[in-house]
Amino acid sequence: MSGGTQRPGGTLPPGETGPGASAGPAAGSGDLAGTPATDRPATDRPAGADPGSAAAPAIEPTVLAWDPAMAGYDFGPQHPLHPVRLGLTMDLAASLGVLDAPGIRIVTPTLAPDELIELVHDPLYLNAVRAAPDPTRARMAALFGLGTADNPIFQRMHEAAALITGGTIEAARAVWEGPARHAVSIAGGLHHAMPGMASGFCIYNDPAIAIAWLLAAGATRIAYVDVDVHHGDGVQTAFYDDPRVLTISLHQTGRTLFPGTGFPDEVGAPGAAGSAVNVALPAFTGDGGWLRAFSGVVPVLLRSFRPQVLVTQHGCDTHALDPLADLQLSVDGQRASYEALHALSHELCDGRWLACGGGGYALDAVVPRAWTQLLAVAAHLSLEPGTALPAQWRAEAPQRVRAVTGQKSVGATAGMPRTLGDGVSVRYRPWDAGVGDPDDPLDRAVAETRREVLPLHGLDPTVDR
């Protein structure tokens, strides 16, 4: 997700690399979630080169929490977070057969009740959200971060946010109680909302509420991995003093991007030291650097923590075409992270995986392609990156964005892609290929995170991987 509607810096054209991407043309999923480290050759790894230790899972029900009414979470036509991206995603997924995959179950959620929202949020804040559409309450709303450029007030704001939250709770219930191993809350991932404050386009923090629900249901070890371009500050805040929840966020450094937090020394409160993990990536990091960073932090910590459930947030605003940030990933690189997290869920927590959406502001050119692939991975569906986009969908997507926003879309400006992927050969240099290059900004960022956090888990940052 995001706050502010302007990029803090410039951007590189698609295809150019940034810090940490020098190892080759970006990264693959192979060793991202592969076998626990052994003596592997220090070579670039293509996607899928090492499938890892997890056996191919049998097809099981995958729950998708969805209701078209979720499009009611709408800050207005000029706001970057426009719900047209959800409709475009669902239509693309349907046209490519993802929603007809064996085992996919679409569940229609209900509004999350107050008592569940209040697992994370202050009751006074809920009252403020409910009252915000009343113009006579504008001054009060402003005290709670409502009515700003980032968080404009709209009618039935509480109901819209509570429906999305209800979807994420229902997805959590499905993986904890059955019948599913995987569940997706495509409209969820609103990770910036604070206990008593709206922030960064987020009213209720649905992933944090779902995690709190899981804890109340009996879970004692939950891992949360956030791959949005923005630091997952709201989820970190909710569990900063709770050792039962491990939060890991890989994001563009807060020195150049909202919310200005998420640095390696943010490791958790006393009594929960090591429960918060932050990888603050340099602007313009591409696939190769991003996936190298992932490989150096995420698998080793998840394997040490041994979660019972894996909750993930999949903001696709890390893409090179995203208008609000400065990372340079491709859809193919993003897919590699989905596959890695999927594999880790099977290796570590019997496949219990709750995946949420998140940020993403290239409404037609990126978000639908990225999240269609997320849905496919969760459904154990093989959907090749070279799959052609349906001609009708491809033609209509920019028109639909223009019709509801009044603005020319990213797809209309940059040209709509023709395939599900970006045609990138996804490669990366795994972290275990060396101890890191002190002259490389990407490697310095990863090494700093490892130095801060790994010893708190009884791990050696110079050896363990």
Supply the pLDDT for residue 1: 74
Supply the pLDDT for residue 465: 83
Q: What is the pLDDT of residues 258-296, one digit of tens each?
A: 999 999 999 999 999 999 999 999 999 999 999 999 999
Tell whether the torsion through CA atoms of 41, 42, 44 and 46 is positive or negative: positive
Supply the pLDDT for residue 10: 32
Strand order through the sheet with 353-356 = 104-107, 62-65, 182-185, 353-356, 309-313, 222-226, 245-252, 276-281
Q: What is the pLDDT of residues 309-342, one digit of tens each?
A: 999 999 999 999 999 999 999 999 999 999 999 9
Give percent of the chain above pLDDT 70.
87
- Is the pLDDT confidence value at 9 over 50? no
Supply the pLDDT for residue 432: 81
207-to-98, 161, 167, 273, 358 alpha-carbon distances in Å: 24, 12, 10, 21, 10
Q: What is the pLDDT of residues 40-55, one digit of tens each?
A: 333 344 343 332 334 4
Is there a cis peptide before residue 179, judged by omega within 30 degrees of 0? yes
Supply the pLDDT for residue 220: 99
pLDDT, average across residues 435-457: 95
Tell whether the torsion through CA atoms of 297, 298, 299 and 300 is positive or negative: positive
- Under the banding of pLDDT at 50, 70 and 90, the label for residue 58 is low
Contacts of 337 (CB under 8 A, 6+ apart): 29, 32, 227, 290, 291, 294, 314
Supply the pLDDT for residue 173: 99
Supply the pLDDT for residue 221: 99
C-alpha gyration radius of the chain: 20
Tell whether the torsion through CA atoms of 171, 173, 176 and 181 is positive or negative: negative
- Under the banding of pLDDT at 50, 70 and 90, the label for residue 23 is very low
All domains of the chain in start order, with CATH? 53-457 (3.40.800.20)
Supply the pLDDT for residue 11: 31
Contact predicate 146/153, CB 8 Å = yes
Mean pLDDT of the chain: 90
| 151: DSSP letter | S
Supply the pLDDT for residue 433: 59
- Under the banding of pLDDT at 50, 70 and 90, the label for residue 60 is confident
Catalytic option among 79, 182, 191, 192: 192
Pairing of strands 45-46, 427-428: antiparallel
pLDDT, average across residues 85-102: 97
Q: What is the pLDDT of residues 343-402, one digit of tens each?
A: 999 999 999 999 999 999 999 999 999 999 999 999 999 999 999 999 999 999 999 999
108-to-63, 123, 360, 367 alpha-carbon distances in Å: 10, 26, 23, 22
Supply the pLDDT for residue 239: 99
- E-strand stretches of 209-325: 222-226, 245-252, 276-281, 309-313
Six token digits for residue 168? 């994420």
- Is the pLDDT confidence value at 209 over 80? yes
**192 catalytically annotated:** yes
- Is the pLDDT confidence value at 188 over 50? yes
Contacts of 245 (CB under 8 A, 6+ apart): 211, 215, 222, 223, 224, 239, 275
pLDDT, average across residues 412-438: 91
CA distance 224 to 246: 6
pLDDT, average across residues 189-204: 99
- Under the banding of pLDDT at 50, 70 and 90, the label for residue 298 is very high
Contact predicate 267/451, CB 8 Å = no
Supply the pLDDT for residue 434: 63
Supply the pLDDT for residue 360: 99
- Is the pLDDT confidence value at 28 over 50? no
Q: What is the pLDDT of residues 132-182, one digit of tens each?
A: 999 999 899 999 999 999 999 999 999 999 999 999 999 999 999 999 999
Place of tokens 């509480």: 158
- Is the pLDDT confidence value at 15 over 80? no
| 155 burial type by CB count under 10 A (0-12 exposed, 13-18 middle, 19+ buried) | exposed
pLDDT, average across residues 14-22: 35
Place of tokens 């097809």: 59
| Length of the chain (residues) | 465
- Is the pLDDT confidence value at 250 over 80? yes
Strand partners, 46: 427
